[in-house]
Amino acid sequence: MGMQNITKITLVWELYEEGVLKGDIATRLEVNRDTVRLWLKGIKQYGLINFLDQYTNAKKGERKRRQIDPIIKRWIWNIREREKDCCGEKIQYFLEKEHGIKPAVSKIYEVLHEKYQLRTKWKKNQIRGVVPKASKAREVVQMDTIDFGEIFAFTGVDIYTKEADILLAPALTGHYGYQFLKESMTRRFNSHVSLIQTDGGPEFKEEFKYHVKEYCDRHRVARPYKKNEQSYIESFNRSVRKECLGWSKYKVQQLKECNQMVESFLERYHYHRPHMGIGMRPPLSRI
């Protein structure tokens, strides 16, 4: 790799002396334009031979990693555990808010890797599918359900503001789907939105389907096996499992206890927990 770049540096200088534009040089040699600019700056300052010597020496041996204060490491680990295994961006948010520091997210993950086994959430070069878009609040609400054994969570999220709502019910039927629709639209989503999107489950048929147009201009059913079309609500559902009810199966007799857990989670979700999709701030604020 080093020898290949040395050849490219030489070619960059030769093409530049021939009057070729920097952008054209970058395209022709498949090098980033900023890299070409930095190489030319170094050559002009030190001369081609001296710059190549400096470049070669700089690539020898491993670079010494910058050490991070053990106290900051402890803060990072504590926030990770306190905030339910939150991501590096959220840890950065809380470090700045609570301690007045803002280390790079890459450095935060480096510290997390020392204690935890992390796995990436993102898959590159994967088709994401079509998702509804929103340019303002109360434009698109996605709804879904989560199975907790004898208890089912009806969930909804405004994809623009990230405000959300949950209703726990003892059955997965259109009756409870309509009950969730009526309660969530009244207390959370301002009674009417442009589009409500659901999947094709039975809980979003019968009574729900009959009444849904009272609360939206259009009801869209996401295509089966296209979870990317419900990406916002799927993300919220993961948070409900991860930070609230977990992966347990509950009995109907535990409904009251689960409702208390949900109320506490929604309070924290709306007023404390920062959201990456809205600029690292909570969806709602009391200020």
Q: What is the pLDDT of residues 76-94, one digit of tens each?
A: 999 999 998 888 999 999 9
Tell me whether residue 74 is exposed, middle or buried, using C-beta atoms within 10 angstroms of its C-beta: 0 to 12, 13 to 18, 19 or more: exposed
Q: What is the pLDDT of residues 99-143, one digit of tens each?
A: 999 999 989 998 999 888 776 555 555 554 456 788 999 999 999
Q: How far is CA 173 from CA 180, 184, 277, 286, in A?
A: 11, 16, 32, 35
pLDDT of residue 8: 87
Are residue 265 and residue 214 in the same domain, yes or no?
yes
pLDDT of residue 4: 77
Token duo for residue 172 = 């997965």
pLDDT of residue 128: 47
Q: How far is CA 112 from CA 85, 86, 161, 199, 246, in A?
A: 10, 11, 30, 36, 22
The whole-chain average pLDDT of the chain stands at: 88
Q: How confident is the model at residue 54 (pLDDT cuts 50, 70, 90)?
A: confident
Phi and psi torsions of 280, nearest 5°: 55, 50
Phi and psi torsions of 235, nearest 5°: -65, -45
Are residue 270 and residue 168 in the same domain, yes or no?
yes
Mean pLDDT calculated for residue range 189-202: 93
pTM: 0.68
The residue ranking higher by pLDDT, 274 or 133, is: 274
Domain count, the chain: 3
Are residue 152 and residue 274 in the same domain, yes or no?
yes
In a domain, 132, yes or no: no
CB 89 within 8 A of CB 79: no
Are residue 146 and residue 89 in the same domain, yes or no?
no
Are residue 146 and residue 269 in the same domain, yes or no?
yes
In a domain, 135, yes or no: no
Are residue 271 and residue 151 in the same domain, yes or no?
yes
Query: Residue 262 sits in a domain of what CATH number?
Result: 3.30.420.10
pLDDT of residue 59: 65
Are residue 38 and residue 83 in the same domain, yes or no?
no
Are residue 43 and residue 82 in the same domain, yes or no?
no
In a domain, 146, yes or no: yes
Alpha carbons 264 and 252: distance in angstroms, whole number: 19
